[in-house]
Structure 1
Amino acid sequence: MMAKTNPLEFFREVRSETLKVTWPTRRETAITTVMVFIMVTFATVFFFLADMVLSKGVSFVLGIGN
């Protein structure tokens, strides 16, 4: 069974926990965003090349390649 607390106490506890959060700086957020875009670009290129290689391989094995 869950302990029952009144709404006012609940919101005080939520506010208290929110104040403990370490929020990233604007610079950290920008750097992380750029790193995500770089990794997405690398993943896109990798999967594009892997798809092309596998497509050529399957076409060759099935005998429909040129």
Structure 2
Amino acid sequence: MANPFNFLQEVRAEAAKVTWPTRKETMITTGMVALMVVLASIFFLSVDQVIRLGVRFILSFGG
């Protein structure tokens, strides 16, 4: 088992090597994710509506 003090020193050293994104990069990435969520939502809503209409059309022959 490693010494906890050495472990914490290694963790801090590794964390210092991380390249953190700038505020601008974070905002752009967040905006792109939000845009993709909206586009995916619209796409799946459209597909759902088309399938609903198709199923209603098919089931209208049974009644």
Range into which the TM-score falls when normalised by the shorter chain: over 0.9
Pairing 1:11-22 to 2, within 5 Å after superposition? 11-22=8-19
Higher helix share: 2
Aligned to 1:44: 41
Aligned to 2:21: 24
Structure 1 residue 17: deviation in Å? 0.4
Write out per-residue CA displacement over residues 7-33 of structure 1, whole angstroms, 9 at most, x where no aligned residue.
000000000000010100000000000
Greater relative CO (CA pairs within 8 A, separation 6+): 1
Superposed CA RMSD in Å reads 1.0
Write out per-residue CA displacement over residues 11-59 of structure 1, whole angstroms, 9 at most, x where no aligned residue.
0000000001010000000000000110001001001110000000011
TM-score calculated relative to the size of structure 2: 0.92
Unaligned runs of 5+ in 1: none
CA distance in 2, matches of 1:41, 1:5: 48
Unaligned runs of 5+ in 2: none
